Amino acid sequence: MFKSWLFFIFCSILALFLAALLVQGAVTSGPVVASLPDGKAKQQLVSRLRLTDLSLCSEARYTRHPSQADLFSAFQDYPGSFEHFPTGSIILPQLEGFNNQLRIVRQGEN
């Protein structure tokens, strides 16, 4: 049974290594960032400069400020035009805050 023990030892080493990596960062809630190094400083920065977005993808305005962009910003030329920015396949404009609805009024209705 030498091979089985060898396999178990191999798997245990990998599993322990993985567990050590996961435990190092295995905390599953948002506020944790504040307890990390620079977490408080980042929150101070966001609060003082009144920032709303991450400076992650700076090629198009709706990927630079996904939470602030309007719907048509993804369609630079006209509504419904093809998206041409590569990060547009990753970051879509958000629908938050738009609640206008087109309504059909039939003849004779108010």
Partner 1 sequence: MRRLLKILDFTLSSLLKRKYKNFALIAVYAFTIAVLGSVLFLTQALKYEATGSLETAPDIVVQRIFAGRHDLIPVNYAETIRRLPGVKSVSSRVWGYYYDSLIKANLTFLASGSDRQTLDLLEGRLPLADDECSIGMGIQSAFGPAIGDSLALEDSAGATKTFQVVGLFRAESNLLTNDLVIFQEQTLRAFFNIDSSLATDLIVEVYNPRETKTLAKKIKYHLADTRPITRDEILHTYETLFNWRSGMMLAVATGALIAFCILAWDKATGLSAEEKREIGILKALGWETADVLTVKLWEGLVISLTSLLIGLIGAWVHVFVFGAPALTPLLKGWSVLYPDFAYTALIDIYQVFVLAMLTVGPYIACTLIPAWKTAVTDPDLVMRG
Instruction: Give the span between the Cα atoms of 89 and 83, in whole angstroms.
Output: 8
**Which CB, 79 or 108, lies closer to partner 1?**
79
Nearer to partner 1, 28 or 107 (CB): 28
**Shortest Cβ 57–partner 1 spacing (Å):** 6
Minimum distance between the CB of residue 20 and partner 1, rounded to whole angstroms? 10
Strands, E, within the chain: which ranges?
Answer: none
Cβ closest to partner 1, residue 96 vs residue 107: 96
Q: Are the C-beta atoms of residues 96 and 89 closer than 8 Å to each other?
A: no
Q: CB-wise, 39 or 106, nearer to partner 1?
A: 39
Cα separation, 22 vs 16, in Å, equals 10
- Smallest separation (angstroms) from partner 1 to the CB of 88: 8
User: How far apart are alpha carbons 60 and 57 in whole angstroms?
Assistant: 7
Shortest distance (Å) from residue 77 CB to partner 1:
13
Distance CA 8, CA 17 (A): 14
